[in-house]
């Protein structure tokens, strides 16, 4: 059920909200044993109590009692927030992230905290310290990552909508693999206050839903300036649902970037993209092909920058301020610190801290980090030039349908290559949306739309058209 | 690993080193790239002017803050391992 439908039903019959909550918990009970989307599911009694409070408030708010699943790296007051890591296994934040405050104020009810790759480092949710999440479409396959729990919860109808975070594709990739819609906002549009940092210059929080309208509704609630985030944009936030139209709001020009449909992209995925492009042309949208050669370097540049920032951000897990507590009696500080990190972090996190430290070290900084930052500038300039001519770009979200569990996790380069089409968008701080683009071999594939800064309205409009073209809406 | 202050299980060391080598090889694509000197590095894509709050003492400070963060205190101070 969509947010719009739920809200309308509750408005006419407030008791419907309790029946809805019961039904969602019944679904969770049926599916969760195999899907495993949640790290922490709130007891139904607590959720019902909040529903009663919401109805007493007298106003349903734009989210109308929606059950919102929240990725476990977003702080929730009084609810355990593990970041998918043993390091924070028992951490209970004393405050809500700004996005959580806003969701609650808008009539959303937090149903639970979803599984994720540890500290958002991964693309399959297999890097969770607790357990892997499975793709509801095929339980032998991954749901994508790192917001895999959020996307799986939405796809399996274990929540109305979800919040995820996207550093290099962590909202869009799981959305593509689970047949859901995921939006990564322009850098700074949504507050990061309360988001546990991975790579601060790339991280953004965004919504995952079963339809474009739900995603537009949640974005309207969470977007907007927040003085507690020093990189929050001071911009007017429109009601994004006004862009959910089945026809173009103006005459658009679209671009397909050759590097995003070339080598390594599955033939079936390309065919799904071609089908969507042909239909978009039928709406009068002009589509042209262009090359942005620097994108060849975006994957290594992204990983250098992300790992460098991670090595700094994760230094705070010292067992004193944050992280697991060990007896340090008789140990030197460096030894105690290394022990905490050895026990608290998983292999992928350790790998990224080691490499992040390496690329920032004296004598290597200029060759790796500084050059990666220059490539980032070239990507940014390349897109800026492109979007002076075009309104949006269209590409496959992921190069292939979802891999099998265990298929890519043992080879880091294979794992990183899943992000090939999503990381350039984060390097440039642009908004992007992944919308279902059909099926290949019975598995969902996603179409990515991205555009210049603050073009979320255009992307939502075109994503709604893609929804109609593909004929898949839940 | 020493510089990063990260310890790895002996049994996993070989596999992790192999993975690190592969990743560094991918990174070398960037190192070996010829870029114009005048190309400015980009560290953030933030479009605004920044929101920096006034640097004033907050409500929770000193030992109060320490109590919130740590379980092990001595005379109101964090008990930390020795550094020398």
Q: Report residue A103 as tokens.
A: 């969701």
- Give the alpha-carbon dihedral of A167, A172, A173, A176, to 10 degrees: 180
The verdict on a CB contact (< 8 Å) between A354 and B6 is yes
**Do A170 and A147 meet the contact criterion of CB atoms below 8 Å apart?**
yes
Contact across the interface for A328 and B50, Cβ inside 8 Å: no
Contact A371 B30 (CB under 8 A): yes
> Do the domain assignments include residue A201?
yes
What is d(CA A180, CA A472) in angstroms, rounded to the nearest whole number?
Answer: 10
Instruction: Give the span between the Cα atoms of A301 and A292, in whole angstroms.
Output: 15
pTM, full prediction:
0.95
Number of separate domains in chain A: 1
In a domain? residue A204: yes
Contact criterion met (CB < 8 Å) for A320 and B83: no
Here the CATH number for the domain that contains residue A177 is 3.90.1300.10
Burial (CB count within 10 angstroms: exposed 0-12, middle 13-18, buried 19+), residue A103 = buried
Which residue from B minimizes the CA distance to A377? B42
Q: Which residues of chain A have pLDDT under 50?
A: none
Under 8 Å between Cβ of A68 and A162: yes
Q: How far from chain centre, in Å, is Cα B56?
A: 25
Both structure tokens of A49: 């109590």
Strand-pair partners of A114? A38, A71
Helix axes A371-386, A298-313, angle to 10 degrees: 120
Q: At residue B66, does pLDDT exceed 70?
A: no
Q: Is B16 exposed, middle or buried (0-12, 13-18, 19+ CB in 10 A)?
A: middle
pLDDT of residue B61: 58
State the pLDDT at residue A472. Answer: 78
A187: closest CA of chain B, how far (Å): 6
Q: Which of B1, B51, B79 to substitute to test the interface with A, most A CBs within 10 Å? A: B51
Which of A320, A335, A417 best tests the B interface by mutation, with the highest count of B CBs <10 A? A320
Segment B41-45 shows an average pLDDT of: 95
Task: Please report whether residue A361 resides in a domain.
Answer: no
CB A182 within 8 Å of CB A141? no
Distance from CA of B52 to the nearest CA of A (A): 6
Q: Which positions in chain B touch A300 (Cβ < 8 Å)? A: 26-27, 29-30
Structure-block tokens of residue A50 = 């909040």
Mutation choice for B interface testing from A91, A339, A358, A382 by most B CBs within 10 A: A358
- Summarised one tens digit per residue, pLDDT across range A377-410 is 999 999 999 999 999 999 999 999 999 999 999 9
Per-residue confidence at B72, pLDDT binned at 50, 70, 90? low
In a domain, A379, yes or no: no
Q: How far apart (Å, rounded) are the C-alpha atoms in residues A149 and A134?
A: 8
Contact A303 B7 (CB under 8 A): no
Nearest chain B residue to A329, by CA: B81
User: Would A276 be classed as within a structural domain?
Assistant: no
Of A208, A239, A245, nearest in space to A224 by CA = A239
DSSP B14-57: HHHHHHHHHHHHHHHHHHT----TTPPP------S---------
Chain B residue at shortest CA distance from A330:
B81
Which strand ranges, in their side-by-side order, compose the sheet holding A286-290? A38-41, A109-114, A67-71, A161-166, A204-209, A181-184, A432-440, A443-450, A392-396, A253-257, A286-290
Phi, psi of A91 (to 5 degrees): -80, 125
For A412, phi then psi, to 5°, come to -60, -35
A348 to chain B: nearest residue by CA? Answer: B16
Specify the 3-state DSSP secondary structure of A447: strand
Q: Between A134 and B13, whose confidence is greater?
A: A134
Rounded distance, CA A37 to CA A40, Å? 9
Q: What is the CB neighbour count within 10 angstroms for residue A228?
A: 14
CB pair distance less than 8 Å for B52 and A230: yes
Higher pLDDT, A370 or B81: A370
Q: Across the interface, do A351 and B23 touch by the CB < 8 Å criterion? A: yes
Residues of A in contact with B84 (CB under 8 A): 332
Residue A317 falls within a domain, yes or no?
A: no
Cross-chain Cβ contact A341/B5 below 8 Å: yes
Within-domain flag for A310: no
pLDDT of residue B70 exceeding 70, the answer is no
From the list A188, A322, A370, the residue facing B46 with the nearest CB is: A188
- Residue A369 Cα distances to A323, A442, B23, B42, B44, angstroms: 28, 41, 14, 11, 14
Q: Which of B19, B41, B82 sits opposite A373 (nearest CB)?
A: B41
- pLDDT of B8: 86
Q: Give the separation between CA A211 and CA A466, rounded to whole angstroms.
A: 11
Closest to A199 measured CA to CA, from A117, A297, A313: A313
Supply the residues of A annotated as catalytic: 71, 146, 170
Smallest CA–CA separation between A391 and chain B, in Å? 19
Residue with tokens 């004296």: A362
Phi, psi angle pair for A437, to nearest 5° = -115, 15
Name the residue in chain A with its Cα closest to that of B84.
A332
Nearest to B45 among A234, A416, A428 (CB): A428
Instruction: Determine, yes or no, domain membership for A262.
Output: no
Give the residues across from A190 on adjacent strands: A223
User: Which residues constitute the domain of residue A87?
Assistant: 3-250+432-470
**pLDDT computed for residue A473 by the predictor:** 66
Contact call for B26 and A303, based on CB within 8 A: yes
**What is the chain A residue with the closest CA to B69?**
A321
How close is the nearest chain B Cα to the Cα of A43, in Å? 26
| Lookup result for tokens 């919040």 | A163
Nearest CB partner across the interface for A333, out of B35, B68, B81: B81
A310, two tokens: 């991670």
Beta bridge partners of B78: B73
Report which of A100, A79, A325, A102 is spatially closest to residue A195, judged by C-alpha positions.
Answer: A100
Q: Is A354 left (phi over 0), alpha (psi -120 to 50) or beta?
A: alpha
Contact flag B46-A300 (C-beta cutoff 8 Å) = no
Smallest Cβ–Cβ distance between B47 and the set A233, A303, A358 belongs to: A233
Q: How many CB pairs under 8 A join A and B?
A: 166
pLDDT at residue B59 is higher than 70? no
The average pLDDT across B25-54 equals: 89
The pLDDT of residue A229 is 94
């Amino acid at each position: 059920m969509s947010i719009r439908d739920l809200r309308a039903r509750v408005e006419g019959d407030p008791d419907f909200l309790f029946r809805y909550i019961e039904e969602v918990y019944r679904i969770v009970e049926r599916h969760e044993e195999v899907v495993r989307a949640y790290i922490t599911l709130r007891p139904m009694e607590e959720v019902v109590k909040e529903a009663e409070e919401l109805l007493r408030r007298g106003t349903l708010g734009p989210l109308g009692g929606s059950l919102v699943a929240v990725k476990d790296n977003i702080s929730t007051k009084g609810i355990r927030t593990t970041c998918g890591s043993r390091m924070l296994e028992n951490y209970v934040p004393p405050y809500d992230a700004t996005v959580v405050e806003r969701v609650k104020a808008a009539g959303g009810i937090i149903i639970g905290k979803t599984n994720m790759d540890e500290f958002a480092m991964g693309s399959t949710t297999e890097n969770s310290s607790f357990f892997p999440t499975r793709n509801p479409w095929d339980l032998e396959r991954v749901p994508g990552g790192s917001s895999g729990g959020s996307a799986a919860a939405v796809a399996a109808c274990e929540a109305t909508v979800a919040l995820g975070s996207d550093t290099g594709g962590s909202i869009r990739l799981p959305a593509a693999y689970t047949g859901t819609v995921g939006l990564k906002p322009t850098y700074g549009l949504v507050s990061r206050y309360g988001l546990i940092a991975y790579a601060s210059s790339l991280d953004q929080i965004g919504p995952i839903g079963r339809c474009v309208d739900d995603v537009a509704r949640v974005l309207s609630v969470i977007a907007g300036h927040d003085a507690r985030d020093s990189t929050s944009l001071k911009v007017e936030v429109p009601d994004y649902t006004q862009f959910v139209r089945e026809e173009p709001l103006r005459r658009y020009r679209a671009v397909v970037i050759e590097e995003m449909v070339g080598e390594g992209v599955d033939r079936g995925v390309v065919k799904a993209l071609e089908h969507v492009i042909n239909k978009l042309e039928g709406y009068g949208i002009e589509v042209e092909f262009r090359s942005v050669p620097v994108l060849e370097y975006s994957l290594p540049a992204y990983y250098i920058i992300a790992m460098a920032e991670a090595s700094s951000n994760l230094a705070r897990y010292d067992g004193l301020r944050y992280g697991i507590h060990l007896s340090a009696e008789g140990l030197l500080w460096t030894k105690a610190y290394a022990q905490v990190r050895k026990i608290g972090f998983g292999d992928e996190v350790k790998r990224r801290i080691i490499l992040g430290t390496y690329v920032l070290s004296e004598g290597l900084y200029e060759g790796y980090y500084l050059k990666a930052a220059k490539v980032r500038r070239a990507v940014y300039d390349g897109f800026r030039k492109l979007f002076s001519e075009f309104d949006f770009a269209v590409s496959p979200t992921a190069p292939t349908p979802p891999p099998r569990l265990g298929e890519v996790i043992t080879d880091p380069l294979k794992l990183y290559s899943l992000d090939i089409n999503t990381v350039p968008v984060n390097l440039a701080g642009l908004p992007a949306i992944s919308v279902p683009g059909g099926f290949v071999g019975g598995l969902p594939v996603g179409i990515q739309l991205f555009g210049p800064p603050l073009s979320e309205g255009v992307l939502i409009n075109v994503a709604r058209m893609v929804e109609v073209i593909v004929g898949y809406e839940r | 690993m020493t510089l990063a202050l990260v310890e790895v299980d002996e049994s996993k060391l070989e596999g992790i080193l192999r993975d690190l080598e592969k990743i560094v090889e991918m990174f070398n694509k960037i190192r070996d790239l010829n870029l114009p000197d005048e190309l400015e590095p980009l560290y953030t894509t933030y479009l605004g002017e920044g929101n920096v709050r006034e640097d004033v003492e907050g409500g929770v400070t000193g030992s109060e803050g320490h109590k919130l963060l740590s379980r092990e205190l001595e005379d109101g101070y964090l008990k930390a391992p020795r550094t020398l």
